[in-house]
Chains A and B, each alone.
Chain A
Amino acid sequence: MLTVRNLSKNFGGVTALNDINFAISKGEILGVIGPNGSGKTTLINCITGFIKASAGEIVFNGRNIKGMQPHNIVNLGICRTFQIMRPYSSMPAYKNLIIPLYGPRARKTGGWRGGGRHGDRNIIALDLLEEVGFERESKVPYKLAGTLPTGYLKRLELARCLALNPDLLICDEVFSGLSMSEIASMVPLIEKLNKSGVTIIMIEHRLKELFKVAKRVMAISYGDKIIEGLPAEVMANEKVKEAYLGADEGV
């Protein structure tokens, strides 16, 4: 479904991504791990067009999407969440979802449960918020997004993507900043999405939770891909241990 070949990104003299290759096929969940500053978010930004890759190609459903505008990439079916949540602070939470439901992708494909094409978008938005775990009968969906705690904002990010009916969902650390119980309620949501046919790339620091959902994991360090494979293989790899824990200097 998505194939990334020889992807590199330089910021001035700094190499953020160096010759990254990977592929993901339809229906898969791929985990991407790596220490802080290893280039995970840069990788997402390159795939989704928010920054331009320096070299390489990104092929989605047989089409090279490198260099395309972010909104055009979204409309092909690749949706992403932001690690630092980007809600519309001055609007109530449910109004945040009117915008993706109004967009061309949702109108063409129908969006979440056809909400982009017909029906009252406000009702569909409330349904969608309930789906991601906003209590329907409470005041939470009507509160200004700027006043919501992190847990809800992460769900709101996810809901914005779901509104678009993504083919490929890229989650940038949706678990970070959440409590154990919040993560526990999020995991089934991700699994349910995957079962409904959405391919998912998950960038995550919470490895234990990630390995519950991701069957295949890729590790990055300083812009280089170290290894790709089953979670257990990746965690057993010496280079991954070194990247996370630092090299053993043999004191």
Chain B
Amino acid sequence: MKTGMRKERIDRGIKVRSDSIYALSSWREISYLMAPRALLVGGFLLAPLILYFFPYWQKVLLIVCIYALLSMAFDFLANYVGLVCLGGSFFVGVGGYGAALLNKYLHFSPFLSIPVAALGGAAFCTFFLLPCLPLRGVYFAIITLMYPLMMTRIIEAFELFGGTNGMMDISGFANPWVEQYFLIISTLVFLFALRRLAVEDIGLVIKGIKDNDQSVRASGINITVVKAQALFYASFLGCFAGAYLAHTYMWAGLSMFALDFSIIPIAATVVGGGGSLLGAVVGAILLVPLSEALRAFGPLRIVSYSLILTVVIVIKGEGLLNYLSRKYSQFERWVEI
């Protein structure tokens, strides 16, 4: 701290989409805006090539994408719609079993079964969560937590779809490059599409429900329909992730309803910072490799993992991305008092 001086922060006067007017005057401003996006897109696209000699880490990259999709779904529901959803594993399981069934009995190729299972699974999940939509906060969270547990028990009890063994011999991807880029490009497309949706008029309505649902009703809008629509988008992402997993593991089983798919996305959203969707993705990029790297600690892995999480939450409670983007969009300079 310098004496007689104080730090002044000024917002950079650039706004990308200032209500359908694009006001960029120089290459410097354009590159300033594009740099973070280019870094993200470029990084994702180049990662499989960079990791060419580390096939293990190529697999980790795919898991990063899976958790990025689930974290986006969680962030979208929690910070845009106002529904805290612990049903990540419900989405993954439904999508996974859906793709496996389509592949096994109807012989759909992965490129057909994944989108069909994602759409069908999203419709299935939305339908079953429909009665819970009037619930808010922790009540919705509890119900969504119950669904995957319930599905596991039903499949076990009735020996459905291979029972505890799961469904084997699901066809995989023929080409490992196609396998990787299919998921990476889909993840990027969904990220930008969802971010775009959030600033469109329908996105405002969705955000309005979180802010003040009674006001939305008083505007003549059926909030149950809008919530169901938002839930469909979120569960689509989750089911897509699940369907992809079924084809990449060439197997669908009970562990697709595992709690990890519900819990880790929350941690990723908290670490990366909620409310921007990008933060959730950044959180997944940080957490998934971290938890892999910590495998060296053996039984202490979960302890060190929790320790790191706790430290991040305490020090940067707003989330890393929210902090970084604030720093990025401000000048700082020392001025005399």
Contact = CB atoms under 8 A, between A and B. Distances in A.
Interface residues of B, number: 21
Interface string B196-226: 0000011011011011101111111111000
Interface in A110-168: 120-122, 160, 163-164
Nearest to A163: B219
A79 interface: yes
Nearest to A90: B211
Given A103-B221, A164-B220, A82 B215 contact: yes
B220 A100 contact: yes
B130 to A, nearest CB: 16
A105 B207 CA distance: 19
B201 A98 contact: yes
Contact of B219 (A50, A90, A164): A164
Main secondary structure of the interface of B (DSSP, over half): helix
Contact of A160 (B210, B215, B222): B215
A89 B210 CA distance: 10
A102 B205 CA distance: 8
A104 B207 contact: no
Given A98-B201, A98-B204, A102-B202, A160 B219 contact: yes
A50 B223 CA distance: 13
Contacts of B201: 98, 102, 121
Contacts of A225: none
Interface of A: 48, 50, 69-71, 74-75, 79-80, 82, 86-91, 95, 98-100, 102-106, 120-122, 160, 163-164
25 contacts: A69-B217, A70-B217, A70-B218, A71-B217, A71-B221, A74-B220, A79-B220, A80-B218, A82-B214, A87-B211, A88-B207, A90-B210, A91-B204, A91-B208, A99-B205, A100-B219, A102-B205, A102-B221, A103-B205, A103-B219, A103-B220, A103-B221, A120-B20, A122-B20, A160-B215
